[in-house]
Structure 1
Amino acid sequence: MTWILLALGLVMIVEGLAYALAPSLIERMLEALRALPEAAIRQLGLLIVVSGLILVWLAWQLGGSFG
């Protein structure tokens, strides 16, 4: 449970920094996403999920247990 809270906290920090430091960039990214077809957005989402799983696995291998 601790590692879930850690992961959520890190996501919130990164997301918050993006909105705080580059709000116009976020707007441009959202406009670009609106122009993409739904299938491309879905593939991008799946790619991000797989990348996240790889990073979690790598962190687990390098650091041992999160608990």
Structure 2
Amino acid sequence: MSDFLTGLAFFLIIEGLIYALAPHVVVMMAKLLPSIPEQQLRLSGLIAMGIGVFLVWIIRF
């Protein structure tokens, strides 16, 4: 449970940094999202998730 909470904390830190350091980039990306096909968004999310799982697996072993 401790690892999960640590991961969640790091996620919130990174998200906060993005909004604090580059809010204009976040707004610009939010405006672009409707023009990106749903299938491409889904594939990008699955790839990011896979990379994350792989990195956790590498770090833990």
TM-score (norm. length: structure 1)? 0.84
Please state how far the C-alpha of 1:32 moved relative to its aligned partner: 2.1
Structure number with higher relative contact order (C-alpha < 8 Å, ≥ 6 residues apart):
1
Matched residues, percent identical? 38
CA RMSD of aligned residues (A): 0.9
Equivalent position of 1:65 in the other structure = none
For residue 44 of structure 1, what is the aligned residue in structure 2? Answer: 44
- The gaps in structure 1 that reach 5 residues or longer are 62-67
Residues in 2 aligned to 1:33 and 1:56: alpha-carbon distance in whole angstroms: 28
Structure 1 runs (4+) greater than 3 angstroms displaced: none
Q: Which letter does structure 2 place at the counterpart of 1:10?
A: F
Letter of the aligned partner of 2:27 in structure 1? E
Structure 2 unaligned runs (5+)?
none
